[in-house]
Amino acid sequence: MRLGVLDIGSNTGHLLVVDAHGGAAPLPAYSYKEPLRLAEHLDASGAVTQVGVDALVAFTAQAQVVAEDKGCEEMLPFATSAVRDATNSDAVLAEVEARTGLRLSVLAGEDEARLTFLAVRRWFGWSAGRLAVFDIGGGSLEIAGGSDEAPDVAWSLPLGAARLAREFFAHGVPDEEHVRALRRRIRADIARDAGNLLRAGTPDRAAASSKTFRSLARICGAAPSSEGHLVPRLLPAQALSEWIPKLMAMSDDELADLPGVSPSRTHQIVPGALVAEAVMDIFGLECLEICPWALREGVIIERFDQLSILG
């Protein structure tokens, strides 16, 4: 079966076309994406601006054309925190549907964490034991942990790299006082519910997914994507802590020259790094394993699990 997974994230709109069936890994067949940057198209009241809505409509319409051209039998369209948290969320969804005919579902933060956990569990398998999973998106940080395919705990925090970049880095890297304030906020938000995960003890395996974690791992020496998904990749806490002062001192052009950093995301690297560092510190992790599967794969896996149950 050929599926189209339409992921409207805080940074990017991404249509992933996959060939999949129950019991097999989803096989990517085509990818179409655009940098929507919805987390940055917000007005003072937290509403998505008309510029942001128009960009979302245009991308959604084109994604439908691409999905049809590639022979998709079914579309799984969803939006995450940028639309979920917008004060005009319902109006945005209604306008997208009116202008494209496609109704986007909005994933709750807990569902986002749960589905990402499912994908990472399937990737690493049962040998991972008790698993902890972290994902830094554009608008939110997802955390989940457990010993089964469904996590025991799963929650979402408004600590996405694009959100923090918009709030704290709109005019470049802030001064030391404001960086310390941001660092305190990040750590307090994460620590508030950290006991949900820590009560069960140190996880047997700790993994991270998302573009932010992949970029940070690449900066810290992980293998490039050209070497394939099966190459193990790590983000060591010590290396990241040593890199953060260097990243803060770099210009956007210097950041864009780093391995794994997209020019459109240079402004998100430092806030993303501060969140990643806080995660590893608060949960006592020396490193994180980078998983190539994340939310989109979780959505696909759950859909095929449902089809298998239905027979």
DSSP H helix total and E strand total for the chain: 12, 11
Max CA separation in the chain (angstroms) = 59
Residues 130, 145: Cα–Cα separation, whole Å: 7
pLDDT of residue 311: 53
How many other β-carbons are positioned within 10 Å of the β-carbon of residue 113?
28
pLDDT of residue 310: 60
Residues 140, 160: Cα–Cα separation, whole Å: 4
Contact 106, 79 (CB under 8 A): yes
pLDDT of residue 95: 98
Residues 143, 280: Cα–Cα separation, whole Å: 12
Residues 215, 155: Cα–Cα separation, whole Å: 23
pLDDT of residue 61: 98
- Sequence-ordered list of residues with C-beta below 8 angstroms from that of 310, at least 6 positions apart, any chain: none
Q: Which domains does the chain have, with CATH numbers?
A: 2-106 (3.30.420.40), 109-295 (3.30.420.150)
pLDDT of residue 121: 98
Contact 113, 155 (CB under 8 A): yes
How do residues 158-191 score in pLDDT, each as one tens digit? 999 999 999 998 888 888 999 999 999 999 999 9
Q: What is the DSSP string of 135-172?
A: EE-SS-EEEEEESSSS-SEEEEES--HHHHHHHH-BTB
How do residues 224-241 score in pLDDT, each as one tens digit? 999 999 999 999 999 999
CA-nearest of 182, 130, 147, 175 to 161 is 182
Specify the pTM: 0.95
pLDDT of residue 150: 96
pLDDT of residue 300: 93
Segments of the chain scoring below 50 in pLDDT: none
pLDDT of residue 172: 81
